[in-house]
Amino acid sequence: MFASGAALLVGSGWLARTRLTDEEVSAFRALNEQSDAMKDAAWALMLGGTFGAVPAAAGVALLAGRRRLALELAIGGTAAYLLAKGVKPIVGRARPHGLLRGVRFRDEIGGNEGWISGHAAVSSSLALIAAPQLPPAGRAAAYGAATAIGLSRMYAGAHMPLDVIGGAGLGLMIASLMPDPRGR
């Protein structure tokens, strides 16, 4: 799992440093050019990738009596948040509005660097850490939410696809470093 996450992180960073491809621009525009009708739902989804999602997820685990899982969510989610901020300067890729014309903004976007998406890193780390402890429907919901959060960042005009892939890769790396869930 760690190697797969590293491949996504490093590969997306390497590609993001080269040039924008028509495929990446098309994927971004397919989401970003949708109607504003989904703006409120996308904003609500994006909260699942903020730092505030970390204590929220840990708190839910704690309330469910899963102290070790709560600790792992707190550690993993915090690591994703901090490491995402730390690796951004490595690639130094601009946000979509610095790469393309006509980007629709649907969220307040802080900072100038797009690669990697911190929202994707946080949400994927939380989902992947929690998933082994969830029933099948809960796992599907966690994975679906993490995916939707990444897509919502493109819809909001905050990230290109490679930014989201890199964030998901970092989340996968972090989750793979957590102890075997059978020991929880």
Q: Is 55 within a domain?
A: yes
170 is a domain residue: yes
pLDDT band at 179 (very low <50, low <70, confident <90, very high): confident
The values of phi and psi at residue 72, to 5°, are -65, -40
Annotate 71-106 with b (16+ C-beta within 10 A) or e (fewer). ebbbbbbbbbbebbeebbeebebebbbebbeebbeb
Q: What pTM was estimated for this model as a whole?
A: 0.94
Peptide bond into 116 cis (omega under 30): yes
Number of domains, the chain: 1
Answer yes or no: is 34 within a domain. Answer: no
Residue 18 lies in a domain: no
| Residue 184: pLDDT band with limits 50, 70, 90 | very low
134: domain range? 2-13+42-103+112-178
CB 172 within 8 A of CB 84: no
**pLDDT, tens only, 100-121:** 999 999 877 777 789 999 999 9
What per-residue confidence (pLDDT) applies to 181?
62
Tell me: the pLDDT tens digits for 23-79? 999 999 999 999 999 999 999 999 999 999 999 999 999 999 999 999 999 999 999
**Rounded Cα distance, 117 and 180, in Å:** 27
Inside any domain, residue 37: no
